[in-house]
Amino acid sequence: MHHHFPTSYSAPFHLFRASAECQECGISCQVIGLTSGTEEPFILQEIKALPEELLSAIIAVHANFELCSSRKLNSLQFLNACSCSAHFPEFPLFSLPGGAFFPTEEGQASQIEVIELPIHGEHEIECSYGIGTGGLILKHGKRINWDSLT
């Protein structure tokens, strides 16, 4: 399910990190997804604008999250990028069963890394959101401590 509101999101913010195959070159790359909330978090998608504090935290652990032109939205949006410069479309990552962030069972969810970002409070983010498998990932994902990454 895909929604375009609210525009204000609250901590905790998590990065989900997994691997996906690049459609252009075929190599496996790390990709991330951003969430807000607990238990059944908002999975933020079609992100057009992020507060600098949040973007800096994301880039600190995943430099291949880039603002680029989106044909679908006819605007700029943040997407995961491969080392070959191709961008990963969000739909297969977030909306197709078995996609990087759409586990269909606990075993798949346990392969996804979960990183809680050191960002607090409420933040304005221009994006849409989905609700779905975020709770499964938070419950079974592999927790990675922020301090071990930076």
Burial 37-47 (b: 16+ CB within 10 A, else e): beeebbbbbbb
The domain in which residue 20 lies consists of 2-148
Partners of 14 in the beta sheet?
Answer: 35, 116
Per-residue confidence at 72, pLDDT binned at 50, 70, 90? Answer: low
Banded model confidence at residue 5, pLDDT cuts 50, 70, 90: low
Please tell me the predicted confidence (pLDDT) of residue 67. 93
Inform me whether the pLDDT recorded for 4 exceeds 70.
Answer: no
What value, to the nearest 5°, has the Cα angle with vertex 115 and ends 17 and 124?
95
Look up the pTM and report it.
Answer: 0.90
> How many domains is the chain partitioned into structurally?
1
**For 80-108, what is each residue's pLDDT tens digit?**
999 999 999 999 999 999 999 999 999 99
